[in-house]
Structure 1
Amino acid sequence: MSEDKQTHFGYQQVEESEKAGLVAGVFDSVADSYDVMNDLMSAGIHRVWKRFTIEVSAVRPGHRVLDIAGGTGDLAAKFSELVGADGEVVLADINDSMLRVGRDKLLDRGYHGNISYVQADAQTLPFPDNHFDIITIAFGLRNVTHKDVALQSMLRILKPGGRLLVLEFSKPESQLLSRAYDTYSFKVLPMLGKLVAGDSESYQYLAESIRMHPDQETLKQMMEEAGFSRCEFFNMTGGIVALHRGIKA
């Protein structure tokens, strides 16, 4: 039997077969406090990042939208309003706990009819070819073991002319900002996690996983290699976060 390949889980080296379970453990732990922690960690700025993502998506009534790693449903809720009764929104997440929290939140807020919920792995998306007008993945790609495979899976199910939007933490543009961000990420985030979610280790992993994620230019190149065209990215908050966009030719 061949030896299992190694990959990273934050700064740790683990067997590829173990990573999905380890990531699942992180999100099982933080699911119920995820929204509160997002607001605290970003001082609410995550709402601005997501609003910009919605604008760049150019979603229209009647569109089919897939929100991968959709978590607690912030993007899916807005997409539901924009696509209307003739459109379709699928909130997908590999993690059952996150999917449950997102579904319950959206149902409680009256979102139903054009939203469906699917537990799915971004690397093996269970949808037909050429199906969606828009795919988004916000703060989820860095947790995927084989990002190249996931990007190819997304390309397959997009319609020609369809858009992929990847919203993710990235590399700050200045050294000064980078140093301040490192201090915040490795000192403040785990402390907030312990106080609010009762879990410092998951937020330590969050900080580490961000550092292991490809930078802006590298991710753009990966999208091009997967087959996307007209790839570009938009830095926000000094490059702490970047939105990548690619088109299926």
Structure 2
Amino acid sequence: MTTESVNAPTQPENNDTTDFGFKQVNKAEKVSMVADVFHSVAAKYDVMNDLMSMGIHRLWKRYTIDCSGVKSGQRVLDLAGGTGDLAAKFSRIVGPKGQVVLADINHSMLKVGKEKLTNMGIIGNIDYVQANAESLPFPDNHFDLITIAFGLRNVTDKSAALASMFRVLKPGGRLLVLEFSKPTSEALSKVYDTYSFHILPRMGQLVANDAESYRYLAESIRMHPDQETLKSMMQDVGFEQTTYDNLTGGIVALHRGFKF
């Protein structure tokens, strides 16, 4: 595969279609297609995260926790929370008077997350909700903090999801979006492409017996809005003081926005 072949294609898109990796699919089909990917990878998700990032994902998540400003007694929504890495930390911070909701659209991921956190002894102040980010089943002005880590790129209508997050966030609350983004240097971008499209699928095949899901994950990263575009999307739905930090040369970015 040449370097040029990993660039996102410039296919025409109409109102009925959306991206699924580099493919254009009917919007109504994307949710089930993404679900199939995460049903497939759920059991090996944590192992693959460590292997794929060489453990660096733990530092990205720790930085997100450090930027959260969350306090004892507050309500936190960990959206697309998967296997619960962030939810586990937030549960300890908010304490028995606080609440953490681990929400994910995929029941396989939610099941793995619940089992993992229960085995860690995290019970009492955490709830598990299967939910679509585009239409969150929570009251207005409910959460002090919302995080979504490595999940927004899989959402069909990202603007609708951001608007839904804005609605359920309290005035004074903040949103943190941790997501793969665009490397800031051309040299790093080339190395990253080689890794993503040659090594990552092979790793997925060896560890999870699923090369295609990890090829999709690599493609979905390339189709995700870049740093400035995502910042503008957050501002368009009402978030203020919106900023982002590039992590690991822009391979990942942490976006922050507040509701006032």
TM-score by length of 2: 0.94
State the distance in 2 between where 1:37 and 1:207 align: 13
Query: Which residue does 2:235 correspond to in 1?
Result: 224
Match for residue 134 of structure 2 among 115, 123, 148: 123
3-state DSSP class of the match of 1:165? strand
**Percentage identity across aligned positions?**
68
In the alignment, is the contact (CA less than 8 A) between 1:11 and 1:212 conserved in 2?
A: yes
Aligned residues: 247
Residue 243, structure 1, aligned to residue 254, structure 2? yes
State the distance in 2 between where 1:83 and 1:125 align: 22
Match for residue 133 of structure 1 among 113, 120, 144: 144
In the alignment, is the contact (CA less than 8 A) between 1:70 and 1:92 conserved in 2?
A: yes
Alpha-carbon displacement from aligned partner over 1:184-223 (angstroms, at most 9, x marks no partner): 0000100000000000000000000000000000000000
Amino acid across the alignment from 1:120: A
State the distance in 1 between where 2:163 and 2:75 align: 19
Query: Which residue does 1:55 correspond to in 2?
Result: 66
In the alignment, is the contact (CA less than 8 A) between 1:4 and 1:15 conserved in 2?
A: no
Query: Which residue does 1:77 correspond to in 2?
Result: 88
3-state DSSP class of the match of 2:67? helix
Match for residue 193 of structure 2 among 182, 185, 199: 182
State the distance in 2 between where 1:69 and 1:170 align: 17
**Alignment map for 1:184-223 (pairs within 5 Å):** 184-223=195-234
In the alignment, is the contact (CA less than 8 A) between 1:230 and 1:247 conserved in 2?
A: yes
State the distance in 1 between where 2:110 and 2:57 align: 19
Query: Which residue does 2:155 correspond to in 1?
Result: 144
Match for residue 162 of structure 1 among 168, 173, 197: 173
State the distance in 1 between where 2:107 and 2:63 align: 27
**Alignment map for 1:15-34 (pairs within 5 Å):** 15-34=26-45
In structure 1, runs of 5+ residues without a counterpart are: none
In structure 2, runs of 5+ residues without a counterpart are: 1-13
TM-score by length of 1: 0.98
CA shift for structure 1 position 4 = 7.4
Query: Which residue does 1:7 correspond to in 2?
Result: 18
